[in-house]
Structure formats: C-alpha cells, structure tokens
C-alpha cells in the first residue's frame, strides 16, 4: 500500500489544482454554530484543530450550507467510513503539519505525509504553515499552498511579518514554486495567553490594534501573500466575539475590507503603478474592470508624503486616511483610480 500511494503522490505533487483564489480565513473555529458569525465577518474559509471525524463532518456540513471552505487535518479520516464522504467536503486545503521547521520535520517526512494525503484526496490541495520565511529545511515547493505565521506584536518590528512573507516568496522562487499560492497568517491574539518559551522571562503581550492588524494584512499582500489567515478565533478558551467583542471588532473591520476587495485580488491583473513610489512607501496595483486598484502602505514610524498622482479626482479612496497629502506611520491606503 505504501508504494501505491507514495508513488502516485509523487506524480500528483507536480500538478496543483489551484486557480489561486484569495482566501480570507480564520484559525481555530471549532463549532458549527459559529460559522454564521465567521461568514458575516467577511471570511471565506476557516481552519480547525479538531480532528475527530464526527466533528469534522459536522463542521463540513455546516460550512457547505454557509458557503465557506474548510482547512482540516486529514490524519484521522484515513481508512475510515468518513474518507469517501470527505472527498465532497468544501475543502480549501488539507492541513498537513503545523510548523515543520519548529518540529524539525525532514523534507522526506513532509513528502511522505503529503503523498498519503494527496493519494486519498486527489481533487483537493494540501497546505502547511512554516514559522518563519527562511527555514533550514526548504519546504517551499512541497505543499500545493504554503503558509507563513509570524506574530510580532509587541516584541518585534511590525514590518517583520511582511519581511517574512517576502523571504518565503524568495524561497518559492528558488525552487521553481512561484506559481503556488503563498498565504500569510496574521496575528489576532495576545501573547500573554500562550506559554512562553522562557518561563523565567516576564510574560509580555497584548492584542494588536486595528491599525496593526490592517498594516500586517496589507503589508503581507504587498510582499507576496495571495491570501490571509487570522490566528485565532478563541481567547482563553472562548470564541473571540464572546470573550472580547472589541478585539473581534478590530479583526473584522479589516476582514470586511478585504472581502470587498477579494475579486480584485483574485481576478485583477497585476499592473504597473505608472509612477515611482519611494521608500518608506510601497505599493501594488491590479487592473480590474477598467480601474486600477492600488494598495499603498507606509512601512515606517513617520509620516510619508503621498505621490501627487494619487491625489487627483480620478482616484477614489476605499481604505485609509482622509489626509490629502501624507500617509501616517504604519498606515494603509487603498485606492480605485480610473485607468
């Protein structure tokens, strides 16, 4: 049996069925009853750490009704009555392993797990998440879609998340995997709620502000992310909307923006901005239905002057400051301009 699915998996690994959607996903959603809340907040998919087949089946059933896709661990579905049914679940991708770089998985071990999953679910794609953009073992070309989680608030520079996304993109390019999607996992939690690596250190942490969540989201897109996940839906064991409504509002203020731009990111054609943008500003532009949509970010702690070309009447501001001349520290602007 090993040779059968391993060898087949090697062939399947070369062919991904992704049409590059732009997923907007939430991590750690465990209850079917919460999917209405997830959908309303602009998410198109969710991940769960649940693995019991009965629970996954219930989540998948409700996800299909809600128009959501799922990201599940496949491990406990193999060789069970649920295996055949799972082939028709609304799967965005099977979740292979969480941070193989941290757990020191070899390429061979990752490929073995990939092949097992791909042989069982050939019509579905497989993803894994790495804990930083540059890893000692190059996993970049192994899954159908690669994810990066990096949580800087408050102990690391805010820009480091986007920088890790850029490093992962370079890793994909180096292994001829640039056509595979890259997804960023944005911090939506307080580090104080998690075990510290150094118990002798003071516990540090806070929940990111709305502005920080927005910056990390759009800065990751500027640096190559083709989808965004948010970690995590729970706070101290309770769903975030119940545990802390204000924190949930910060997240959903951004995800609803992204949901309105989803078709631009999916169906728009990358396009030249048409004029130079100087550091600390960076920008990315898509042509969609006769308009140029531009994401502009200020990756510094000082105000930055806006290009005069974006201040004309032909540009409408969809996201960001109303200031006519500058973009604030770690601020974001999204514009739709007549082409």
DSSP per-residue codes, 108-168: HHHHHHHHHHHHH-TTS-EEEEESSSS-SS--TTSSSEEEEE---TTTS-TTHHHHHHHHH
Distances in whole angstroms, Cα of residue 99 to Cα of each of 131, 153, 159, 176, 338? 5, 19, 21, 22, 43
Per residue of the chain (339 residues), give pLDDT as tens.
Answer: 444 454 444 444 444 444 579 999 999 999 999 999 999 999 999 999 999 999 999 999 999 999 999 999 999 999 999 999 999 999 999 999 999 999 999 999 999 999 999 999 999 999 999 999 999 999 999 999 999 999 999 999 999 999 999 999 999 999 999 999 999 999 999 999 988 766 666 778 999 999 999 999 999 999 999 999 999 999 999 999 999 999 999 999 999 999 999 999 999 999 998 888 999 999 999 999 999 999 999 999 999 999 888 888 788 999 986 667 899 999 999 999 998
Residue 309's beta-bridge partner residues?
A: none
Q: Residue 38 is encoded by which pair of tokens?
A: 């997830």
- Quick one: CA torsion of 46, 50, 54, 56, rounded to 10 degrees? 20
Same-domain pairing of 281 and 182: no
Query: Which domain CATH number covers 287?
Result: 2.60.40.1180
276 and 200 inside one domain: no
Total domains in the chain come to 2
Which of 33, 213, 9 minimizes the C-alpha distance to 126? 9
**Residues 93, 176: one domain?**
yes
Give the pairing of strands 126-130 and 315-319.
unpaired
Instruction: Give the torsion sign (CA, 246, 240, 222, 46).
Output: negative
Considering the domain architecture, whether residues 104 and 205 belong to the same structural domain is answered as yes
Structural domain contains residue 94? yes
Residue 100 domain-assigned (yes or no)? yes
pTM of the model: 0.94
């Amino acid at each position: 049996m090993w040779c059968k699915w391993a060898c087949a998996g090697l062939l399947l690994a070369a062919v991904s069925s992704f049409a590059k959607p732009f997923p907007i996903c939430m991590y750690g959603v465990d209850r079917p009853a919460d999917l209405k809340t997830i959908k309303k907040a602009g998410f198109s998919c969710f991940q769960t750490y649940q693995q019991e087949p009965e629970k996954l089946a219930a989540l998948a059933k409700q996800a299909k009704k809600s128009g959501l896709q799922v990201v599940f661990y496949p491990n406990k579905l193999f060789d069970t009555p649920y295996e055949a049914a799972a082939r028709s679940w609304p799967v965005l991708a099977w979740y292979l392993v969480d941070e193989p770089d941290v757990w020191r998985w070899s390429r061979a071990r990752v490929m073995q797990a990939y092949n097992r999953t791909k042989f069982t679910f050939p019509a579905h794609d497989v993803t894994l998440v790495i804990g930083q953009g540059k890893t000692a073992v190059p996993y970049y070309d192994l899954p159908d879609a690669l994810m990066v989680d990096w949580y800087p608030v408050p102990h690391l520079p805010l820009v480091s998340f986007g920088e890790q996304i850029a490093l992962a993109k370079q890793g994909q390019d180096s292994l001829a995997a640039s056509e595979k999607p890259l997804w960023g996992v944005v911090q939506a939690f307080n580090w104080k709620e998690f075990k510290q690596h150094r118990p002798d250190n003071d516990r540090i942490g806070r929940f990111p502000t709305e502005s920080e969540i927005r910056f990390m989201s759009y800065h990751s897109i500027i640096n190559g992310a083709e989808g965004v996940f948010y970690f995590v839906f729970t706070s101290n064991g309770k769903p975030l909307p119940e545990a802390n409504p204000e924190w949930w509002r910060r997240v959903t203020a951004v995800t609803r923006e992204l949901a309105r731009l989803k078709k631009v990111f999916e169906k728009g054609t990358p396009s030249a901005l048409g004029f130079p943008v100087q550091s600390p500003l960076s920008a990315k532009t898509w042509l969609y239905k006769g308009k140029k949509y531009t994401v502009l970010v200020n990756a510094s702690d000082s105000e930055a002057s806006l290009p005069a070309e974006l201040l004309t009447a032909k540009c409408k501001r969809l996201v960001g400051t109303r200031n006519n001349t500058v973009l604030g520290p770690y601020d974001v602007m999204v514009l739709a301009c007549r082409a």
